[in-house]
Structure 1
Amino acid sequence: MKLRVKFKFLIENMLKGLLWMAILAALYLLAKEYVIDENQEVWLERFYSQPLIIYGIYIGSEVFFGLFPPEFFMLWAYYKGDVWHYVGNLFFFAGVSYAAGYLAFLIGRYLRRVVLFRYLGRKFFSKYWPLFRKYGSFLIIAAALTPLPWSAISMLVGTTEYPMKRYLYFGLFRLLRFAVYGYIIYQTHQIA
């Protein structure tokens, strides 16, 4: 019975993630049709002439609790070159995201010893503590696969006595998210 509830939680969050992906794809197709195609030279010059800035923004976003959805950067990467360049960018984005989650986990491990954080952490993570208590590893998988805040959940898990090897193992689902969402974005472009 308890395992069924955890799987239901995971599936519900995966469906939310797919809904989010569908909304992004629809918004992108509309923007492409009515905004980007009208002024393609301006958009290409503005966003593609300085890739290091885009990579820096992505790294900062992933380290600081996912300020921007990674799907925006996947969309950007599609126009950056051929298929292999896109796949290379996906590997880069997935690696940075996984590493940012691990860094947040380590920060959580450190902060758990800080007295002030024990108080502030309870307030900051108040929304996710009950979920972690109830779902445990399934919350890590859900955060890895869905729009739940990956770095914040990773930090929360780090503040507990959760085993690092198990966290790293379940965190690998983050790479699966990038593979699936990257494929969906690629196919969306093929339709358009």
Structure 2
Amino acid sequence: MTEQSKLVFLLKNLGRALIYAIVIGVAYYLFKEYIIAENQEVWLKKFYDNTLLIYLIYTGSEVFFGLFPPEFFMLWAYHKGEAMHYTLNLMFFAGVSYAAGYLAFIIGRILRRTVIFRYMSRKFFMKYWPMFRKFGSALIIAAALTPLPWALISMLVGSTEYPLKRFSMFALFRVLRFAVYGYIIFQTHQL
């Protein structure tokens, strides 16, 4: 696989991520303007007041294959206070997401020779095995930056002989995702 094809794969997925971010931003803006504005107290009271619950739901989501997009939690964080509080929440979310990927990598490394993992491979990884063989590190970066399932890809990579140090380095792109998406969400509120 040439470096050019890896770059094309990465750029294509980054383009998808940009489209995804724009769609989330526009959807949220419309939701905020036309639904929340009418019933703001009802919407905000249900979930926004229980910070611990939000943190637990987010952590569970990141550990269990990203059940909820992190952008939903970024939107919640925006409403919890000023810019510094928002930034601290983003840092927390990025740290949890990075740690969840690391944990999934270790689980993949531990379980790779078990019957459970072989079942999981057939059930969940079939789509991503060929991509990993073809693109390698570019798939890690793409999963870190885009809506590809971060924990699932991390577990897949962990099940191979991929070096932990290299994975940890490429996984830092996950923090970049939170910075970029967090900035987009913050700017959406400034409109």
**TM class by shorter-chain length?**
over 0.9
Cα offset, 1:98, TM superposition: 0.2
- Matched ranges for 1:64-75 at <5 A: 64-75=64-75
Where does residue 86 of structure 2 map in the other structure?
A: 86
- Matched ranges for 1:102-181 at <5 A: 102-181=102-181
TM-score after normalising by structure 1: 0.96
Q: How many residues align?
A: 191
Where does residue 4 of structure 1 map in the other structure?
A: 4
> Which amino acid is the alignment partner of residue 66 of structure 1?
G
Q: Deviations over 1:16-65 (max 9, x none)?
A: 01101111111111111111010111122112211111111100000000
Q: Distance in 2 between matches of 1:90 and 1:123?
A: 32
Where does residue 40 of structure 2 map in the other structure?
A: 40
Q: Deviations over 1:115-153 (max 9, x none)?
A: 442354244200000000000000000000000000000
Q: Distance in 2 between matches of 1:24 and 1:169?
A: 28
Q: Distance in 2 between matches of 1:35 and 1:115?
A: 48
Q: Distance in 1 between matches of 2:150 and 2:45?
A: 31
Q: Distance in 1 between matches of 2:166 and 2:145?
A: 16
> Which amino acid is the alignment partner of residue 166 of structure 2?
R
Cα offset, 1:188, TM superposition: 0.6
Cα offset, 1:82, TM superposition: 0.4
Q: Distance in 2 between matches of 1:116 and 1:16?
A: 32
Where does residue 95 of structure 1 map in the other structure?
A: 95
Identity percentage of aligned residues:
68
Unaligned runs of 5+ in 1: none
RMSD: 1.1
Equivalent position SS for 2:190? helix
> Which amino acid is the alignment partner of residue 16 of structure 1?
R
Q: Distance in 2 between matches of 1:116 and 1:35?
A: 44
Change (3 A) 1:45 1:164: same
Where does residue 76 of structure 1 map in the other structure?
A: 76
Where does residue 20 of structure 1 map in the other structure?
A: 20
Q: Distance in 2 between matches of 1:41 and 1:115?
A: 50
Equivalent position SS for 1:127? coil
Q: Distance in 1 between matches of 2:6 and 2:49?
A: 45
Q: Distance in 1 between matches of 2:69 and 2:116?
A: 30
Q: Distance in 2 between matches of 1:181 and 1:138?
A: 20
Q: Distance in 1 between matches of 2:30 and 2:66?
A: 24
